[in-house]
Amino acid sequence: MDGIINEEQALRELLELASREETVYLPLKGDNKLPVTLKGLSEKQISQIREKCTVRKKQKGRESKELDNEEFNVALIVAATISPNWGNANVLADHKLSGPEEYVKRIASGYLAALGDKVLELSGFGVDIEEVKNS
């Protein structure tokens, strides 16, 4: 049977998937690039970030919820970044930035969705699982 591995191998691979990291490169001036190393997040971490970035509004007695996609992507990126240190105190102070979130918004605005998607991918979202069929 092609593609079937033993239980121990499968369990080890699942643990490796749960702790995936990947480095992506943001273009800088000229041919320079900034390596950004991201890690996957747990479902609990992503849920907490989603909850924090959900805006609740009351209109005509009804409550509606809407996810602020920009804030969500920024929070995902900040939480999942291994390097660089978006919260570098010297850089934040020099540029009068309030924190890593503001830094990421400022430098990566064109890349927020792509970096957020990469974090979700590393976290196992969007991974297809084949249907189990009884033969």
- Read off the pLDDT of residues 85-111 as tens digits, 9 standing for 90 and up: 999 999 999 999 999 999 999 887 778
User: What band does 73 get if pLDDT is binned at 50, 70 and 90?
Assistant: very high
Q: How far apart are CA 110 and CA 92, in angstroms?
A: 20
User: Are the CB atoms for 104 and 78 separated by under 8 Å?
Assistant: yes
Give me the residue label for tokens 């990291």: 21
Q: Is 26 exposed, middle or buried (0-12, 13-18, 19+ CB in 10 A)?
A: middle
The CATH architecture annotation of domain 21-46+74-122 reads 2-Layer Sandwich (3.30)
**pTM of the predicted model, to two decimals?**
0.77
User: What band does 67 get if pLDDT is binned at 50, 70 and 90?
Assistant: very high
